[in-house]
Structures are given as structure tokens and as C-alpha cells.
Amino acid sequence: MLALSRGLNSAKNSAIKMNVKKPAKNFRNFLSALIFASFLLAACAGENRAENQKASVPPRAASSPAAGSFLSDDPLSGPLSQIRIPLAEEFLPLQVVNANLDIDQMEEQIIVFKKKNDPEDKIRIIVADFDNVRNAYVPAWETETRATNARSFSLELVDLLGDHIPEVLCFGRGRRGEETLDVFRKTLPPQGFGIYYTRIAALSSAGNIEVEQKPRSEAYRLLQRNDESFSLAVYENDTSSENINDLLKVSWFWSHEKGAYIQGKRERLAGQTIAEKRLAELFAKGVEEFEVFLGGFWYRTESGEIIQFDVKERRIIFFNGSMEEIFLWQSSYRTIYRGMYLNCANESLPYITKQLSVSVSGMDSFELAVKGEEGWDGQYKRLTGEMQASYLTSKFQGTALEPVRLSGLYKNENGMEIYFSPPRFTMKENGSESSGGYAVYSFHGLILEMKFLKNNGRVDFQRTYRLTLNEEKQGRQILRTLFLQPAELKASGVDVKALGEIRLQQIVEAHTLGS
């Protein structure tokens, strides 16, 4: 399924290599700080990727896509500056997607944008098509969507109708926070030439919206025949039920006669039934999918110990509030029904091994038994991304999150400038300009962590500084002096470098401080 609800993934956390068991007071603070910083910086990077996506220089021939695949080999390369058509000054581009929409020799370009001073603040799209006569890209079709939130907007190309022609799906959120989906189908243009789309679905929900995808047939994949269309599902809370987990599902089906999606059956779904269905789907999957399910942080319900299953780095980290152990994740084996065996070896002393038996009891819980050791046995619940900051902050004191707020322009006599606009920054240094995301937190003093991003939104490099901020009043002005010392965070504390200190200043009028 293509679920619109794109919740935050579990925060990325750098696990620290340690010996078998060490006191973990610093580790607790370190982990808490990194979780907070990764939340801010990942969110900023995601926002920057949305603003700097998807273009390449015109014109460009399209490769022959496989059935159901409509994006060219590198459709997301290049900055917004490489938009292929001139835009009016009132247009504020948000995303650019290069794609072969009609399976011809040239790919098209979809530009997602807003208009300045638009009272409805709606997100719009325009399709640019290559005109062989003029040997240039020209605007071919334009429309608006129901979405207004640029950060949550997502444009996808999916063959909903099974005819090998991709529909344009615009997921987003409206002004009231509701989820929205606009679907556009390629149809014959009124003028008889060019690219033209017709809206075939416009849905909104206080819950979530999903595309109910099913596997395509072999004949479809070989371009031998068309296939069945996908239905759309709108889920909302069942307000008539006393159980807050019960849902109301409304299905929408493609009608060739109407040329649009039409409302179908309405059904009530018991929360218990939904959970059982998801568990059944998980139990039917293999080792890899089970490992992905376990990935992230879990806490023991009776005493609060934490286990992290790091699927990517193949590590399992045990942390009980005073000591931690890191084990290398060697192998996994599915059990017949609802569980899996995990074999691991201590990172520092490989001859110390464990076999973990995991038995899943719910989509957010499992029972753990460690062979030959009872200290970690018990029931565990998932520590979600939203819970991590509050859980670690309340349980592991010592890390103050955002203890100071950096905002506005700081500069020095060497021509260096940093403009802070939380959680983003722009830096001018040595004649060049760069930007990215930053976080300020307390870990053995104030720490400023800055991630510099490429044009496509990916992280280029990172800098970490020990931060000192002094403030003094001079008449009707406030002088702030920012000292940045290059530093490296370690489990034992902060390693401050002797060279490379930066000194920046900001002057503001005293009466603007409250604004």
C-alpha cells in the first residue's frame, strides 16, 4: 500500500563503541543529545530535499521504461535553477520532477509551485512538454491541488488504472491539517495536441488515505496486456463507536463510464481486527522483513531497560541505565509461527555470545527470552520517534535541549557571516555560500551541530562546535558575541580542538528583543 500517513521514522542514532560493560552516565546524555539533534537536522534535510529536487538540463531523451516504471534513470538530479521553462515572478517553485509521462522520446517536467499572495495558498503543478517545432520546452498543462502544506506535499507517478500510463498522484495536507489526495489522468487535449490531464479523484480525510496496490500480472509486466485498476481507501475514526481504535473505511473505485473514481462501500473496521490483520501479514513474511520490523528502539515495560536493533549496522545494543553492551548481529532464523531467533556476539569479546528468542505479541510489542540469561527477559514495547525525546529527557537528566536560541545574522571582520533561521542556517565563508540545518543542545557545555547540505538536499559534511554566547547592552543596542570552537563529541565528553576558533558578533536594537 501507498500510505499517505508518512510518520517520522525512528530517529537515527550513532551507537558508541565501548567495552563489554562501562558506566553509562555520559552515554545517556550523549544518546539524548544525538536523538534531539538528529530530529532537527533530519527534518531540515528533508525540507531542503523537497525544495531542491528533481531536474536536469533540457532537452533530454527518455529511456524506455519497464512497465509500471516511469521515472528516468536519474530523475531527481539537479537544482531548481534548471527548470526548463521560464516562470512568472509570482511563481514560487517547490519541487521539480523529470519523468517520461507519455513514453515518447523526450521526458517531460512537472513543476510543483505556489503563487505569491494567493489567498487560498494552494499548491499547484504545471507540466512542461518538449515542442519539436520550437525545439524547446513549453508549458502544456496547469492545475491546482487541495494541498497547502509544502513540507508534507508528495508527488508520485503510479499506474492506477493498469493501462501502462502513469497517473499523477498529489498527496498533501490542507489548511485544517487534513490529508488530501488529488489524482490526474492523461487524457486527450481539447486542442488536439500536447499533454493534458483530467482530475479523476479529489479526496480529503481527517485520518489517512491509501492506494490499495496489488501485484501486477506477468502479462502486464511484459506489456502484453492491461491489468486491473487500484482502488483508493479513506480511513477515519468511527465516531459512532465507543472504541477509539475502531475505524470507518470508505473505498473508491475506478469507473470507466464516469471517467473518475466513484465512492463504493463503507465499512466499519474493529481496531482488534486491523491489528490481527497486520500481525498476520508480518507472520507470513521472511527473515528480512522481520528484522526490519524489529529495527529501532524498544523498552522493557516493567523496568525501562532499552534495546536497540540496528539493522543497517548489524548491531544489537543493550542499555540498562548504568551499563551497556554492544553485540554484533550475526544471523537470524524465523520460527514456525510468530517469532525469530537472533544470534549475536559481543563486539569487544567475540567469544561471549547470546541467542535471543523474540516472540511478537503485537505491532508494537514482543516477548524476549535470552538463552542462558534472565536479566533481559520480559515484554518490550516500541520506543517510537515521537516518544524518544520525551522518554530520554525525563529518564536521563543532564542534557538540556535547545538551551539557547540562535536567530538572525552573526558576522566578523574577516567577512564570515552565518544567518540562523531555526532550524536552518546560511553561511558565507571565503567567498562562497552554503546552507543546511543546525541544532543547539547541552552536552558538557553548549554544542552547536551544523549539517551542510548539497543542492539535492543530501548531507555534504558536518561541523560540531563548543558554543559560547556572551551578551552585553551598549546604550540602546544589544551586542552578542558568539564563540565557536571546533569539537568532537565522545562518550567520555567533548574533545575541543585548540585551533580554528571562530568569533562572530550580532548587534540588535534593544526594543526588538521581544519581537
Does the domain at 408-512 match CATH 2.40.128? Answer given as yes
C-alpha cell at 414: 574577516
CA distance 183 to 167: 7
Tell me the pLDDT tens digit for each residue of 264-315: 999 988 776 677 778 888 888 888 999 999 998 898 888 778 899 999 889 9
Three-class SS of 212-230 = ECCCCCHHHHCCCCCCCCC
Task: With CA atoms as reference, report the closest residue to 352 among 377, 370, 327, 319.
Answer: 327
Q: How does residue 494 score in pLDDT terms, banded at 50, 70 and 90?
A: confident
CA distance 156 to 53: 13
pLDDT at 513: 46
Q: Is 213 or 243 the better-scoring residue by pLDDT?
A: 213
Residue with cell 489522468: 185
pLDDT at 380: 93
Q: Domain locations in the chain?
A: 2-24+280-395, 52-269, 408-512
Lowest model confidence (mean pLDDT) among 79-88, 350-359, 406-415, 492-501: 79-88
356-387 burial, b if ≥16 CB within 10 A, otherwise e?
bbbebeeeeebebebeeeeebeeebebbbbee
Lowest model confidence (mean pLDDT) among 56-70, 109-123, 231-245, 482-496: 56-70
* CB-CB neighbours of 394 under 10 Å: 8
Q: How does residue 389 score in pLDDT terms, banded at 50, 70 and 90?
A: very low
Collapsing DSSP to helix, strand or coil, 350 comes out as coil
Lowest model confidence (mean pLDDT) among 250-254, 473-477, 487-491: 487-491
- In one letter, which amino acid is 92? L
- Residue 115 and residue 109 in contact, taking contact as beta carbons nearer than 8 Å: no
Tell me the pLDDT tens digit for each residue of 153-169: 888 899 999 999 999 99
Dihedral sign, Cα of residue 490, residue 495, residue 499, residue 500: positive
pLDDT above 50 (res 61): no
Tell me the pLDDT tens digit for each residue of 312-329: 889 998 876 556 688 999
65, exposed or middle or buried, with CB in 10 Å at 0-12, 13-18, 19+?
middle
- H helices of 284-423, where? 287-294, 385-395
